[in-house]
């Protein structure tokens, strides 16, 4: 340890181990800040810019899914305090189901009644954004399909900008002429347990919107809406239009939404997948029991035990019978990712990789393994290969520091969970882009972060999740949450305590 300025204090070895290039200081290109790991939202500590994301589009185009996932992304990967203000949710809470006649734009009484929810949601969002300096991103989630509505929004938001906090308003319009994401699902979300309400009623409601729909800046070169910052995502990201999107964070928002709203579908296998996000499933599995697991040691690059090998064979059968077969019984293209470590690669090595012919006569190599070092387990540095008992005995202060702040604690010459979050961010972009089922064979520390992101678990709670060996977690993200199922592939063979359950 050293210090360039002899007039300043020298750092102890413990202090030096916790000093790092801060990966969240991305607003200043090519400039890194050397400082200790800090608690809490890093990106929000010194900058006061406030972002308001305004969703625009017809019902059923995926606005709520994109809004919620974007808020999760900014909160989890950038440490920003985010909140979604969904007008439809507020209306459902107060009134329940409203039939299509309530959405007639020519019915002034019905429009006034619905507009009350727009006004109250806007008021709530403005109050939340000024409550404290850490509330940074509000997402206003409703249709906003007319120029008049968007002009009202901009007028309402003027009061938020002052000399101390910059306000950035970004409109995000999702456009699709192919139809809604899923009419049946959208109708069911409004049923409020009334079986008489039907998908047909939802389609009639949609017709009211279509008659009055005005796309952003659609009146030519002199359109005043060209002064707005906006992102148009057309036909599930097949075409993107960005206008006046400046700055690092606006760029991150645009990139994420571009991936989340559309995504690459394997060789156009089945267009149904692009319209129904419930078809996208992600399977998370730890590697089979390793030699280090058997002895309660952390890290390393040990191979599988005999029990771990049995799990690898069970995972092969599970993939062949469950993952690569969709709900209609059709073989569908699937992806397989592992870390670069031996125990994950060997766990996945038995999975079959046949070449299948798709409906458009193109071919796809099924479950072709892709190795990502980003998926490697959190690096324990000087503690790599030790048991937690040995760490407590030899590095008692380290063990206590980790216990107090599991998210921000960095192992001596190793990583923290905040470091892991930073290296997972590019992979999350990839995961959002793809629409095929994906199996990730990884490590507990890594899967904790991925699972927390999709389930909306705050990142300070994410490291405390327990993910058992020899289980597969199936998650299905969708507009209204994230469904989860857990499969025990070796019910007759317990892996025992790997020493990590409570760590």
Binding residues for substrate: 286-293, 343
pLDDT at residue 497, as a whole number: 64
Nearest Cα to 245, choosing from 151, 170, 340, 161? 170
Q: How many CA atoms lie within 13 A of 335 on its CB side?
A: 21
Annotation marks residue 398 as catalytic:
no
Residue 54 has pLDDT above 70, yes or no: yes
User: Annotated catalytic residue: which of 78, 208, 236, 287?
Assistant: 287
Annotation marks residue 470 as catalytic:
no
Query: In a 10 Å sphere around its CB, with 0-12 CB exposed, 13-18 middle and 19+ buried, how is residue 328 labelled?
Result: exposed
User: Annotated catalytic residue: which of 377, 398, 432, 474?
Assistant: 377
**What mean pLDDT is reported for the chain?**
84
Residue 474 has pLDDT above 50, yes or no: yes
Render pLDDT for 380-392 as a digit per residue (tens, 0 to 9).
999 999 999 999 9
Query: In a 10 Å sphere around its CB, with 0-12 CB exposed, 13-18 middle and 19+ buried, how is residue 89 labelled?
Result: middle
Tell me the residue ranges of DSSP E strands in 248-360.
Answer: 282-286, 335-338, 355-357
Tell me the residue ranges of DSSP E strands in 120-251.
Answer: 135-141, 167-175, 229-234, 239-243
Would you place residue 305 in the very low, low, confident or very high pLDDT band (cuts 50, 70, 90)? very high
Residue 241 has pLDDT above 90, yes or no: yes
Place of tokens 């810019």: 49
Nearest Cα to 263, choosing from 403, 134, 430, 141? 430
| DSSP code for 142 | S
Query: In a 10 Å sphere around its CB, with 0-12 CB exposed, 13-18 middle and 19+ buried, how is residue 393 labelled?
Result: exposed
Residue 148 has pLDDT above 60, yes or no: yes
pLDDT at residue 337, as a whole number: 98
Nearest Cα to 379, choosing from 469, 332, 445? 445
Q: Alpha-carbon dihedral of residues 418, 423, 425, 429, nearest 10 degrees?
A: -170
| DSSP code for 318 | H
Q: How many CA atoms lie within 13 A of 151 on its CB side?
A: 8
| DSSP code for 319 | I
Interval 42-65 mean pLDDT: 79
User: Phi/psi of residue 183, each to 5°?
Assistant: -60, -40
Beta strands 355-357 and 363-365 are: antiparallel
Domains defined for the chain, CATH in brackets: 50-269 (3.40.50.300), 282-488 (3.40.50.1240)
CA distance 351 to 237: 32
Render pLDDT for 356-369 as a digit per residue (tens, 0 to 9).
887 778 899 999 99
Would you place residue 27 in the very low, low, confident or very high pLDDT band (cuts 50, 70, 90)? very low
CA distance 53 to 71: 10
Q: Please check whether residue 274 is in contact with residue 262, taking contact to mean a CB–CB distance below 8 angstroms.
A: yes
Which phi-psi region, left, alpha or beta, contains residue 315 (left: φ > 0; alpha: ψ -120 to 50)?
alpha
Range name among 275-289, 292-306, 364-378 with the lowest pLDDT average: 275-289
pTM: 0.84
Q: Which DSSP helix (H) or strand (E) runs through 175?
A: strand 167-175
Binding residues: 286-293, 343
CA distance 304 to 289: 6
Would you place residue 137 in the very low, low, confident or very high pLDDT band (cuts 50, 70, 90)? very high
Alpha-carbon distances, residue 319 vs 314, 333, 336, 487 (angstroms): 9, 12, 10, 12
Q: Please check whether residue 500 is in contact with residue 299, taking contact to mean a CB–CB distance below 8 angstroms.
A: no
Q: In what order do the strands lie in the sheet with 229-234?
A: 81-86, 135-141, 50-56, 167-175, 229-234, 239-243
pLDDT at residue 179, as a whole number: 56
56 or 101: whose pLDDT is higher? 56
């Amino acid at each position: 340890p050293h210090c360039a300025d002899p007039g300043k204090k020298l750092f102890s070895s413990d202090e030096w181990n916790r000093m790092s290039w801060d990966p969240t200081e991305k607003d200043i290109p090519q400039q890194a800040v050397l400082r200790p790991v800090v608690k809490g939202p890093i990106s929000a500590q010194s900058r006061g810019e406030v972002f308001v994301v305004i969703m625009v589009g017809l019902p059923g185009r995926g606005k709520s899914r994109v809004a919620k996932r974007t808020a999760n992304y900014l909160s989890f990967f950038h440490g920003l305090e985010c909140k979604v203000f969904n007008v439809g949710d507020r209306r459902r809470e107060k009134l329940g189901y409203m039939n299509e006649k309530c959405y007639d734009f020519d019915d002034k009484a019905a429009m006034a009644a619905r507009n009350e929810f727009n006004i109250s949601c806007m008021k709530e969002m403005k109050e939340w954004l000024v409550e404290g300096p850490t509330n940074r991103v509000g997402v206003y989630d409703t249709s906003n399909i007319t120029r008049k509505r968007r002009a009202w929004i901009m007028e309402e938001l003027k009061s938020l900008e002052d000399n101390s906090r910059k306000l950035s308003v970004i409109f995000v319009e999702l456009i699709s002429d192919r139809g809604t994401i899923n009419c049946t699902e959208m109708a069911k979300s409004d049923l409020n347990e009334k079986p008489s309400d039907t998908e047909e009623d939802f389609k009639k409601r949609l017709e009211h919107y279509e008659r009055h729909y005005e796309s952003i800046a659609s009146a030519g070169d002199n359109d005043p809406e060209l002064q707005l910052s906006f992102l148009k995502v057309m036909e599930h990201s097949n075409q993107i239009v960005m206008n006046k999107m400046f700055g690092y964070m606006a760029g991150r928002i645009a990139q994420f939404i571009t991936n989340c709203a559309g995504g690459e579908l394997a060789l156009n296998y089945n267009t149904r997948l692009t319209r129904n996000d419930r078809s996208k499933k992600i399977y998370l599995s730890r590697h089979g029991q390793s030699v280090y697991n058997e002895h309660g040691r952390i890290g390393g690059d040990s191979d599988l035990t005999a029990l771990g090998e049995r799990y690898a064979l069970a995972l092969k059968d599970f993939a062949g019978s469950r993952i690569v077969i969709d709900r209609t019984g059709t073989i569908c293209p699937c992806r397989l990712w592992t870390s670069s470590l031996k125990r994950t690669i060997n766990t996945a090595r038995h999975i079959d990789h046949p070449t299948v012919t798709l409906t458009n006569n193109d071919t796809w190599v099924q479950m072709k393994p892709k190795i990502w070092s980003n998926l490697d387990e959190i690096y324990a540095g000087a503690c790599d290969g030790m048991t937690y008992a040995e760490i407590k005995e030899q590095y008692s202060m380290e063990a206590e520091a980790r216990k107090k702040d599991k998210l921000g604690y960095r192992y001596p010459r190793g990583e923290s969970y905040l470091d892991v979050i930073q290296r997972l961010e590019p992979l999350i972009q990839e995961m959002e882009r793809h629409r095929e089922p994906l199996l990730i064979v990884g490590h507990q520390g890594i899967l904790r972060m991925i699972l927390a992101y999709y389930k909306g678990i705050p990142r300070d709670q994410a490291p405390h999740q327990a993910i058992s060996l020899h289980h597969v977690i199936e998650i299905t993200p969708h507009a209204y949450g994230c469904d989860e199922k857990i499969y025990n592939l070796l019910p007759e063979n317990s892996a025992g305590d790997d020493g990590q359950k409570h760590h």
